A and B are shown apart, each in its own frame.
Chain A
Amino acid sequence: MRENSVRMIQIDQGDFFLQDMDCFLFSFSREERCLKVLNLLHRENIKIKKLILIWYEKYDGVTISDQLQSELQTCADSLQIIKCNMSNEGQDGVELSRTGIGKNDQVGFDITGFAIPDVFRILYVLNRIMGIDSINVFYTEPKYYCYQNGLFTTYTKNAGKCSYKVIEEYNNSGSGKKEILICFLGFDRNISKYVYDEVLPYEIVVVNGFPSYLPKLKDISLVNNYELITTVGRDKVISSRANSPYAAYNCLKNVAKRYDEELMNICVLGTKPMALGAALYALRNLRKVKISFPFPEKYRSDSSAETGESWCYQINI
Chain B
Amino acid sequence: MTISSYKNPFIECTARDMSYEEVFRFWCSPFGCYRLDEGQLFSSHTPLIIEGARGSGKTMILKYLSYFCQKEVALDKKEEDVVGYICKKGGIGFYYRYNAHFDKLIHDLSCSDEVKKELFCYYYDLFLSLEILNVLEDIQKNLYVDPKEMDLLADRICSALALEDRDIKNMKETISEWTYEIDEWIRNYKYYSGSEERLKNMIHGSDMVRKLCNCIKSCISRFKNVELLILIDEYENVKYFQEITNTWIRRVDSLSACSYRIGTRPQGISTYNTEFSEEIRDGRDFILCPLNCVNMKSYKEFIKEVTFRRLNKIEFFKENSLTDITRILGTRENFDDEASRIVQNKERDIFDKLHIPENVIDYLWCEGHPLMQMMNIVWYLRGKQPEMIQKAQNAYLSGTADKYSEDTVLKEAHKYKLDYSGKYRLQLLCVLCGLYKVSKSYYSFNTFAYLSTGVVNDFISLCRNTFYHLDNMDLEDLLEGKTISVRIQTKGAEDTANEQLNQIQVTDEFGSEMYNFAMNIGYEFEIMHKDIQSKYPETTQFAFENEAEIDADKRIKAIKDCMIKWGVIQKKSRRQRISIGMKKGNLYNLNKIFMPIFNMSYRTRGGFNYVLKKSMFESLLGDKNQGNDEEETDDGFRQMNLFEEGFVQ
Interface residues of A (CB under 8 A from B): 28, 30, 32, 34-35, 38-39, 42-43, 61, 63-65, 67-68, 71-72, 74-75, 88-90, 93-94, 97, 124-125, 128-129, 148, 160-166, 168-173, 175-176, 189-191, 193-194, 197-203, 227, 230-233, 286-287, 292, 294
Measured CA separation A214–B324 after assembly (Å): 46
CB-based nearest A residue for B12: A232
A125 in contact with B191 given A30-B637, A175-B176 (CB within 8 Å): yes
Contacts of A294 in B (CB 8 A): 506
| Contacting pair B101 A165 (CB below 8 A) | yes
Say yes or no: is B328 at the interface (Cβ < 8 Å to chain A).
no
CB-based nearest B residue for A67: B641
A75 in contact with B506 given A90-B110, A198-B101 (CB within 8 Å): no
| Contacting pair B105 A171 (CB below 8 A) | yes
Say yes or no: is B576 at the interface (Cβ < 8 Å to chain A).
no
| Contacting pair B507 A194 (CB below 8 A) | yes
CB-based nearest B residue for A194: B506
**Chain B CB within 10 Å, residue with most, of A88, A128, A173:** A173
Measured CA separation A209–B621 after assembly (Å): 37
CB distance from A67 to the nearest CB of B (A): 7
Q: A198-B101, A203-B17, A230-B495 are in contact. List 15 more A-B contacts (CB 8 A).
A: A28-B640, A34-B640, A43-B648, A63-B639, A71-B643, A125-B191, A128-B187, A129-B188, A173-B123, A175-B180, A176-B176, A194-B503, A198-B100, A202-B19, A233-B7
| Contacting pair A232 B11 (CB below 8 A) | yes
Contact of A193 among B186, B499, B647 (CB under 8 A): B499
Measured CA separation A282–B105 after assembly (Å): 19
A173 in contact with B640 given A168-B187, A191-B506, A200-B16 (CB within 8 Å): no
CB-based nearest A residue for B636: A61
Say yes or no: is B434 at the interface (Cβ < 8 Å to chain A).
no
Say yes or no: is B580 at the interface (Cβ < 8 Å to chain A).
no
Q: List 12 A-B contacts (CB under 8 A).
A: A35-B641, A63-B639, A65-B639, A124-B187, A161-B512, A162-B506, A165-B108, A173-B179, A175-B126, A227-B503, A230-B11, A231-B11
| Contacting pair B105 A166 (CB below 8 A) | yes
Measured CA separation A148–B7 after assembly (Å): 36
Say yes or no: is B143 at the interface (Cβ < 8 Å to chain A).
no
A161 in contact with B507 given A90-B190, A173-B123 (CB within 8 Å): yes
Contacts of B100 in A (CB 8 A): 164, 198
Count contacts on B: residues with CB < 8 A to the other chain: 60
| Contacting pair B637 A175 (CB below 8 A) | no
Contacts of A169 in B (CB 8 A): 187-188
| Contacting pair A176 B131 (CB below 8 A) | yes
CB distance from B333 to the nearest CB of A (A): 24
Say yes or no: is B102 at the interface (Cβ < 8 Å to chain A).
yes
Measured CA separation A193–B464 after assembly (Å): 15
| Contacting pair B17 A201 (CB below 8 A) | yes
| Contacting pair B508 A94 (CB below 8 A) | no
| Contacting pair B17 A35 (CB below 8 A) | no
A161 in contact with B511 given A173-B127, A190-B505, A230-B464 (CB within 8 Å): yes
Contacts of B190 in A (CB 8 A): 90, 93-94, 168
Contact of A42 among B130, B176, B640, B648 (CB under 8 A): B648
| Contacting pair A161 B642 (CB below 8 A) | no
A35 in contact with B176 given A163-B508, A176-B127 (CB within 8 Å): no
CB distance from B313 to the nearest CB of A (A): 14
Mark contacts of B606-649 with chain A using CB atoms, 8 A cut-off: 1 yes-contact digit, 0 otherwise: 00000000000000000000000010101001011111100111
CB distance from B195 to the nearest CB of A (A): 12
Q: When A and B form their complex, which 8 residue pairs have the shortest distance between CB atoms, in order from nearest? A: A175-B176, A163-B508, A200-B16, A71-B642, A233-B11, A176-B130, A65-B639, A161-B511
Contacts of A74 in B (CB 8 A): 647, 649
Contacts of A171 in B (CB 8 A): 105, 183, 186-187
CB-based nearest B residue for A149: B630
Contacts of B642 in A (CB 8 A): 35, 38-39, 42, 68, 71-72, 75
Contacts of B502 in A (CB 8 A): 189-190, 193, 227
CB distance from B118 to the nearest CB of A (A): 15
Contacts of A125 in B (CB 8 A): 191
CB-based nearest B residue for A228: B499
Say yes or no: is B468 at the interface (Cβ < 8 Å to chain A).
yes
CB distance from B557 to the nearest CB of A (A): 19
Measured CA separation A109–B278 after assembly (Å): 54
| Contacting pair B511 A287 (CB below 8 A) | no
| Contacting pair A71 B11 (CB below 8 A) | no
Measured CA separation A88–B109 after assembly (Å): 10
CB-based nearest B residue for A188: B506
Contacts of B641 in A (CB 8 A): 35, 67-68, 71
